[in-house]
Structure 1
Amino acid sequence: FLRTINKMFIVFPWFLLLFPVTLFCCRGAQGRFAYKLLHDLFANYSSALRPVEDTDRALNVTLQVTLSQIIDMDERNQVLTSYLWLRQAWLDAHLTWDKDAYDGIDSIRIPSSYVWRPDIILYNNADDRFGGSMETNVVLRSDGHITWDSPAITKSSCKVDVSYFPFDGQRCRLTFGSWTYNGNQIDLRNRMDTGDLTDFVENVEWEVLGMPATRNVITYGCCSEPYPDVTYTLLLRRRASFYIFNLLLPCIMVSFLAPLGFYLPADSGEKVSLGVTVLLALTVFQLLVAESMPPSESVPLIGKYYIATMTMITASTALTIFIMNVHHCGPGARPVPPWARWLILHHMARLCCVYEVGESCKSPRRVPDGRVGRGDAGGPGESPMEGDMGAEAGGCPRDRCVCHHDGLLRNVDYIAGCFRRHRASQRRTGEWKKVAKVMDRFFMWVFFLMVFLMSVLVLGKAA
């Protein structure tokens, strides 16, 4: 047993010293094979020529796009900025080797500038620098297959339709194809039917519904050869919560303030000021929307709502001015026409529940003799007191009345006439004020209904 222990202590340290040396020699040998492989492959290789053995045959190139992030969507300039991962794969017939002859090396990673690369670019590029993808390494396998994964930040033109903003959806196309090689030289195909969205970082403004891919073969007017391309259609839907709480709801609340201008008393002097203030507030909101929208013929849905609301507020302000003129017509105004008395003071007043003190919304106050309203007991332009006074003055015998002087009688008649005219003008002014009040209430409910219907129409159209 002791001899065995002594042999282990003698042999084991030497084994520990020899193991790293053996491992280093193996690794060094594989490194020398990789260096030799790289030297042998590119000794007579040119990256300028298309790597095919038969120049009459097309080279198959597959493309796969992975959407990583939507950086920005500029609706005004109609430019989509996105972060993509591009994977291109093709077969290079001049870069094959026997892996057994190079210590089993099956694949190597080399700079992409060493090999021939297809000139696949984004056709609808909107970047002023027109930059391409990043210069990353390619994976070269022993059978000649090359895989090139490269990230790229692209700016692509996208036709933006803002007809239903902020409840809109967009379809942005990313078209990739070769710039110089036609379909007889490079056969470009999509690897999958859709873009890869597994590593997509969610955007706060846009929701990605899908990214289908289609292959197109187009013959342009400049050339007779066909040019294949792969088009990825990015289906986007706007997240409308931000715009609802910052643009739509304030507009709806401000719009409901406009009909309340009819509820203000005419003597307050703030009816027109409220309408003008609401109109200015909506103008500010309209400018905010117009700054972010492209100057196109299609007006966004929220813009139509703003225009309709501003038109309604303009009409309400004009009606308010007219009603205030009716309210402040003064004592020299003509009496209320019979049709207006019948339509406004009788029917519309009961419909809008406009009544004086002592009256009811359902049944107006009646005097004891059965006639409705005030001022009907003593004839037109007379009050009951005036009628009694006139009867007493007319029934008083001249020889028994102390008022037997003609001058005094004329003064009394003049004072009574002034009093009667004053009461008649007060009654006419009161009737016109009631007409203005009834019209205020009527238009208030009409405009409330209009604001409600426009809000429902906008939300229903968005849905």
Structure 2
Amino acid sequence: MTFFIFLLKFSKLILYFKLVSSESFSAEEPSTCKVFEPTLPYGRLKKHIFCNYEQEIRPREQHKNTTVNILLLPKLMEFDSGANKFTLNSWLRAEWNDDHLKWNPEDFDNMAALHVKSYEIWLPDLSVWNSADLNSDLIFSSIASCFVAHTGFVACIPFIKTTVHCSSDYENWPFEKQICQINLSSYFHYSDEVTLKVVQDKIMMDQYVPNQEWSIVSITATQVPGYIWPTVVYEFHLKRHAGIMFTLYVIPGIVLMMLTLVMLWMDVNSVDRISLGSVNFICHLFCLYDLHWQITASGRAIPYLLKFYQNSLALAVFSMVLTILLRNLQVVTTSSPNWISSLAVFVLRYRLGRLFILSDEEAKYFVEVEEETENNAESMQYVTIATKKEDTWKRFAKILECLSFFCVLVTYIVLLYTCIPKK
């Protein structure tokens, strides 16, 4: 056992001497550039700049701040309403000053600028903090070309594809407006080291290709003050092109509303009324089934249009049930309660009530009776017609039918005002 412990300590000692010897050898090795001496001015300039250049070192002194000016140049935009994801393809112009990339143009044949690759110089560690794809949240994840001037001015324009989640609102579907944000920030540098500054409030849209379904209403860029990391928030206001959606879903809802009202206006004993009510009910079901495929289920609120169809379906079912009830009331032969007779008499006292309650023949007969009994008590006229036992239930059914029609009409007017989406 003692022998094995001795071998272990001996091996550790040998390893220690090897590490020390390697470190001393590396320390003695001079840090020089390549022996090759370029002859062209471009080669000599790159060797002069990048001989001892370190990409990891921030291009300012430790106590000084590096200001990075950014400008967004959108190219393509996509919005997945089902997944609530906003994807933006764009260029991002980033500019800053690097004190380590300065030279005198007279020493290099008046060469005042050069183009380099992004991996050769220091880059601001910009990232999309609210990215939905964490594998591609870094802005400079791909190689880009950068412009370097002799004054130390650096400009890079990487092409980026950013996908973020949106807090969507589908209440006004299909005319809803979505708001999506892209939060740009530094990954490691604090606000006292790096400052992000928006070049201009207006975003350049010269190279933007319009989307077929969504349009960008406005874009705002805001610098977040007082935050520990430098942050810029781009807010995109989107609006759907909903002309086709209006034709496919809003107009059919209005047509179904008219079918329900026409059904209630028809004679309760008509077979056509039952047929129209059945077709109306089936059409409501088909429209709701189609809407269930079009409207995303990820929204936080029920769309107004879906509420309209839901309430319209309830009114269609009410109309069918009312039709069956009224048809049964008209064949009732038992004597009616006093309150039903009183209600019929009260309604027939007024010409408007007689207009909706009485048929043409009954109205003509009522006029003749009214002329003959002009000098008698008025109540006798109404009682003569309204209190017949065989007609009381029919009068009551007609009153219910008229009241139901006007109640449904008022309900639809309210639904049109509150539930039809506004453009």
TM-score above 0.5: yes
**Map of 1:90 onto structure 2:** 96
Unaligned residue ranges in structure 2 (runs of 5+): 1-37, 374-379
Query: Displacement, 1:227?
Result: 0.9
- Residues in 2 aligned to 1:95 and 1:259: alpha-carbon distance in whole angstroms: 79
1:127 equivalent to 2:133? Answer yes
Query: Displacement, 1:305?
Result: 2.3
1:203 equivalent to 2:163? Answer no
**Map of 2:62 onto structure 1:** 55
CA 1:343 to 1:323, structure 2 compared with 1: closer, same or farther past 3 Å? farther
**Map of 1:64 onto structure 2:** 71
**Map of 1:107 onto structure 2:** 113
Instruction: State the secondary structure of the residue aligned to 2:40.
Output: helix
- Residues in 1 aligned to 2:252 and 2:399: alpha-carbon distance in whole angstroms: 30
**What does residue range 34-433 of structure 1 map to in structure 2 within 5 Å?**
34-52=42-60, 54-71=61-78, 73-127=79-133, 129-130=135-136, 132-133=138-139, 134-217=142-225, 219=227, 226-269=228-271, 271-272=273-274, 274-291=276-293, 292-329=295-332, 332-334=333-335, 337-343=340-346, 347=350, 349-352=353-356, 354-357=358-361, 359-360=363-364, 364-366=367-369, 370=373, 428=390, 432-433=393-394
Query: Displacement, 1:79?
Result: 1.5
Instruction: State the secondary structure of the residue aligned to 1:352.
Output: helix
**Map of 1:399 onto structure 2:** none
Query: Displacement, 1:213?
Result: 1.4
Query: Displacement, 1:374?
Result: 13
Query: Displacement, 1:137?
Result: 0.9
Residue 100 of structure 1 aligns to which amino acid in structure 2? E
- Residues in 2 aligned to 1:229 and 1:283: alpha-carbon distance in whole angstroms: 50
CA contact (8 A) 1:195 1:232 kept: no
Instruction: State the secondary structure of the residue aligned to 1:48.
Output: coil
CA contact (8 A) 2:112 2:149 kept: yes
**Map of 1:419 onto structure 2:** none
Query: Displacement, 1:358?
Result: 7.0
- Residues in 2 aligned to 1:91 and 1:368: alpha-carbon distance in whole angstroms: 103
Instruction: State the secondary structure of the residue aligned to 2:162.
Output: strand
Query: Displacement, 1:216?
Result: 1.1
Query: Displacement, 1:455?
Result: 1.4
Instruction: State the secondary structure of the residue aligned to 2:133.
Output: coil
Query: Displacement, 1:83?
Result: 2.0
Residue 44 of structure 1 aligns to which amino acid in structure 2? N
**Map of 1:411 onto structure 2:** none
Residue 40 of structure 1 aligns to which amino acid in structure 2? H
CA 1:344 to 1:274, structure 2 compared with 1: closer, same or farther past 3 Å? farther
- Residues in 1 aligned to 2:132 and 2:103: alpha-carbon distance in whole angstroms: 42
CA 1:141 to 1:450, structure 2 compared with 1: closer, same or farther past 3 Å? same
CA contact (8 A) 1:166 1:301 kept: no
- Residues in 1 aligned to 2:306 and 2:134: alpha-carbon distance in whole angstroms: 32
Instruction: State the secondary structure of the residue aligned to 1:212.
Output: strand
CA contact (8 A) 1:63 1:88 kept: yes
CA contact (8 A) 2:354 2:363 kept: no
CA 1:343 to 1:159, structure 2 compared with 1: closer, same or farther past 3 Å? same
CA contact (8 A) 2:171 2:301 kept: yes
User: Highest Rg: 1 or 2?
Assistant: 1
TM-score by length of 1: 0.70
CA contact (8 A) 1:120 1:176 kept: yes
* 1:452 counterpart (413, 416, 421): 413
List per-residue Cα deviations over 1:426-450 (Å, max 9, x = no partner): x82x654454345434433442343
- Residues in 1 aligned to 2:46 and 2:93: alpha-carbon distance in whole angstroms: 23
- Residues in 1 aligned to 2:203 and 2:233: alpha-carbon distance in whole angstroms: 10
**Map of 2:6 onto structure 1:** none
Query: Displacement, 1:246?
Result: 1.8
- Residues in 2 aligned to 1:340 and 1:41: alpha-carbon distance in whole angstroms: 102
List per-residue Cα deviations over 1:95-140 (Å, max 9, x = no partner): 2222222222222222212222111111111136435554321112
- Residues in 2 aligned to 1:308 and 1:368: alpha-carbon distance in whole angstroms: 47
Query: Displacement, 1:353?
Result: 6.3
List per-residue Cα deviations over 1:277-336 (Å, max 9, x = no partner): 43443344345445533444422222332333233333333322321221343xx43358
Residue 335 of structure 2 aligns to which amino acid in structure 1? R
CA 1:294 to 1:36, structure 2 compared with 1: closer, same or farther past 3 Å? farther
CA contact (8 A) 1:91 1:145 kept: yes
CA 1:267 to 1:319, structure 2 compared with 1: closer, same or farther past 3 Å? closer
CA contact (8 A) 2:170 2:300 kept: no
Instruction: State the secondary structure of the residue aligned to 2:136.
Output: coil
TM-score by length of 2: 0.76
CA contact (8 A) 1:216 1:231 kept: yes
Unaligned residue ranges in structure 1 (runs of 5+): 1-29, 220-225, 382-426
List per-residue Cα deviations over 1:329-373 (Å, max 9, x = no partner): 3xx433585224314566565242641447449x64539975869
Alignment identity in percent? Answer: 19
Once structures 1 and 2 are overlaid, which stretch shifts more, 178-187 or 125-134? 125-134
CA contact (8 A) 1:259 1:445 kept: no
- Residues in 2 aligned to 1:369 and 1:433: alpha-carbon distance in whole angstroms: 25
List per-residue Cα deviations over 1:190-238 (Å, max 9, x = no partner): 111232233333334434332221111455xxxxxx2110111222334
- Residues in 2 aligned to 1:166 and 1:98: alpha-carbon distance in whole angstroms: 61
- Residues in 1 aligned to 2:222 and 2:392: alpha-carbon distance in whole angstroms: 75
